[in-house]
Structure 1
Amino acid sequence: MRLLGLDPGLRHTGWGVIESQGSRLRYVADGAIHSDGGLPLAQRLVQLHDGLTEVIRLYRPDAAAVEETFVNKNPTSTLKLGLARGVVLVVPALAGLPVAEYPANLIKKSVVGAGHAGKEQVQMMVRMLLPGCELATADAADALAVAICHAHHDATARRWGGSAAPTLKTQEGGVR
């Protein structure tokens, strides 16, 4: 199964593609989509949409997973991140992909073994779990971690006899 991990951001949205067969993971590609801070917000969102659409067209994933957003102290920044996150959720959904969401602490715990691991620890484990990965940016490393987390949770759910991890939020907001 080919998985697309996404780390949403208005300035930089990281993406990472892996293949998962049982407990085996294989690196495919990673990168980041950058929006032009000098453009109006709507045009920046279009840049994210078009960039993600191209990633999906090029790598043809079977599913996508997105890091859940934390709320920060600045409401304007939180709102803009939420708008970018909306684009990151809707593009794979429009492409017909199932979209799972994971909180940052679960992603870190899945990859490193500790929910409060630092970025350096996450990047080191991503490199260990995906030999040959390039880690184009820190956002791409985070996106690969999201994909790894989804691979682990999806594989577990399949072993339990389900088709998806039972506690994941769907893009419709429900729980499956």
Structure 2
Amino acid sequence: MTTLGIDAGIANTGYGIVTEEGATKILRDCGVIRTGSDIPIHLRLKKIYDALVEIIHEYQPEVVVLKELSTSRNVANVLTVGQARGAAMLAAANANLDIRSYTLNQVKQSIVGSGNASGHQVQQMVKVLLGLKEIPKPDQAEALALAICHLHTYKTQNLYQRIHR
């Protein structure tokens, strides 16, 4: 199964494509879609959307995984992240892909074993789980962690369903 994790943000949208073959998770690609603050918001969203459409076309993931929006005191930030998340969801929906989302705590629990893990701990575990030589950058690591979280969760859910049939 190939999964595309997306850490949506208006300035930086991280993405990571992970394929699972048996028990092995393979990094196919990761990166960051950057948009400049000097560009109008609608063009920034279009840039995110267009880039994700290309990534989806190239890697043909079965599932797109996003982080659930969290509450914040900075309402403006939540709104712009929500808009970037919407652009990502539209790119996935237009490709008829399954869209899943997880809370940050669920991702940390799945990757590190603790919902209270630090961002650096998540980065380190992503490096270990994918057998990388270097620790991925924060936006990339979070996107990869989302993809890995879904692969863990999907496998567990399938096992549970087979046992309880």
TM class by shorter-chain length? over 0.9
Question: Partners in 1 of 2:77 and 2:66 — Cα distance?
Answer: 19
Partner of 1:126: 126
Q: How far apart are the structure 2 equivalents of 1:145 and 1:95?
A: 22
Contact 1:65 1:146 in 2 (8 A): yes
Count of matched residue pairs: 162
**Deviation for aligned residue 1:135:** 5.7
Identify the range of structure 1 (51-60 vs 5-14) with the bigger mean alpha-carbon deviation.
51-60
Instruction: Say if 1:10 and 1:99 are closer, same or farther in 2 by CA, change over 3 A.
Output: same
Contiguous gaps of at least 5 residues in structure 1: 163-176
Percent identity of paired positions between Structure 1 and Structure 2? 35
Matches within 5 A, 1:1-176: 1-132=1-132, 137-161=137-161
Return the TM-score normalized by structure 1.
Answer: 0.87
Deviations 1:18-63 (A, max 9, x none): 1113432111111011112111111110011011111111211111
The structure with the largest helix share of the pair is: 2
RMSD: 1.5
In structure 1, how many angstroms separate the alpha carbons of the residues matched to 2:10 and 2:141?
Answer: 17
Asked if structure 2 preserves the Cα contact closer than 8 Å seen for 1:18 and 1:26, the reply is yes
Structure 2 stretches lacking a partner, 5+ long = none
TM-score (normalised: structure 2): 0.92
Determine the structure 2 residue equivalent to 1:170: none
Deviating beyond 6 angstroms after TM superposition, the runs of 4 or more aligned structure 1 residues are: none
Deviation at 1:134, TM superposition (A): 6.0
Say if 1:32 and 1:137, in contact at 8 Å, map to a contact too. no
